[in-house]
Amino acid sequence: MSDSENPLALADFSQRHAEAVAEDQFRMRWSPRSMSGQALTMEQLQTLCEAGRWAPSCFNSQPWRFIYALPGTPQWQPMFDLLMDVNQLWAAKAGALVALVARTHFEANDAPAATHSFDAGAAWMSMALQAQSMGLAAHAMWGFHHDQAAQALNLGEHFATQAMIAFGHRAAADELPEPLREREMPSPRKPLEQLMFAGTHP
Ligand SMILES: Cc1cc2nc3c(=O)[nH]c(=O)nc-3n(C[C@H](O)[C@H](O)[C@H](O)COP(=O)(O)O)c2cc1C
């Protein structure tokens, strides 16, 4: 299927060239910023978290937690206020914000869980691909005030913020403020030859 016939290709994919055969969903996933402001339904949000829930994790510890806010609800403003200005510029039109939080210690014995971020990252990717299959945008953000998040999100001991995720209904690139408009397209990747090595790192 050519990109122009592919329903996932609602953008200019000219910077993304496949080097080997893999499912289109991987090359077609990207992080749009332009969203319409329409709130997601609870059903949509549950579907996204359901996808995240099935991610693999060390000892099946499932360290991820999904703390959400929908626009127009009392939870929205406190979570939105955590975002750095540069992200507030566009995430104001998100249809949901999800703070992805991970338990840093195993529940079973309170020992440090070295893979908590790795595991939470797997959940994020599952959610991102689920969003894409629903025709929704998913955009992760590190740019928020992590130091204030623990209090704002009521995180107890042994929980650490991993990312804030904006989910939303797509909108046209020209609805973004000027500096972001021209970046509203799928980005390229390093070639496989710079990433794949037999046996040892060069
Ligand atoms: C953990 C993480 C943190 C990110 N933080 C931000 C952010 O604060 N603001 C932003 O606009 N994009 C952020 N991004 C989006 C990345 O810039 C984007 O994923 C990357 O450029 C690759 O583009 P793509 O997702 O469209 O393929 C983040 C992505 C990840 C995975």
For residue 185, being part of any structural domain is answered with: no
The dihedral region occupied by 84, where left means phi > 0, alpha psi between -120 and 50, and beta the remainder, is: beta
For residue 84, being part of any structural domain is answered with: yes
For residue 190, being part of any structural domain is answered with: no
167 C-alpha to ligand 1 centroid (Å): 13
Give the residue, by CA position, lying nearest to ligand 1 atom 12: 141
What is the per-residue DSSP string for the chain? --GGG-TT--S--TT---SS---HHHHH------B--PPPPHHHHHHHHHHHHT---GGG---EEEEEE-TTSTTHHHHHTTB-HHHHHHHTT-SEEEEEEEESB-TTT--B-TTHHHHHHHHHHHHHHHHHHTTEEEEEE--B-HHHHHHHTT--TTEEEEEEEEEEEB--GGGS-HHHHTT-S------GGGT--SSS--
**22 burial via Cβ count (<10 Å: 0-12, 13-18, 19+):** exposed
What domain range includes position 73? Answer: 25-180
For residue 50, being part of any structural domain is answered with: yes
For residue 90, being part of any structural domain is answered with: yes
Give the residue, by CA position, lying nearest to ligand 1 atom 31: 140
- Residue recorded with tokens 């749009």: 32
For residue 32, being part of any structural domain is answered with: yes
By most ligand atoms within 8 Å of CB, the mutation choice from 25, 31, 125 for ligand 1 is 31
Identify the pLDDT of residue 135: 95
Helix H, strand E, coil C: the string for 37-52 is CCCCCHHHHHHHHHHH
Give the residue, by CA position, lying nearest to ligand 1 atom 6: 141
For residue 125, being part of any structural domain is answered with: yes
Q: Identify the residues whose C-beta falls under 6 Å from ligand 1.
A: 30-31, 87, 140-143, 163, 186-187
Per-residue pLDDT of the chain (202 residues; tens, 9 = 90+): 454 454 445 788 999 999 999 999 999 999 999 999 999 999 999 999 999 999 999 999 999 999 999 999 999 999 999 999 999 999 999 999 999 999 999 999 999 999 999 999 999 999 999 999 999 999 999 999 999 999 999 999 999 999 999 999 999 999 999 889 999 999 999 999 999 999 999 9
124 C-alpha to ligand 1 centroid (Å): 12
Domain total of the chain: 1
Identify the pLDDT of residue 196: 98
Domain CATH code at residue 50: 3.40.109.10
107 C-alpha to ligand 1 centroid (Å): 30
User: In whole angstroms, what is the distance from residue 27 CA to residue 16 CA?
Assistant: 7
For residue 12, being part of any structural domain is answered with: no
Which atom of ligand 1 is least distant from the CA of 162?
1
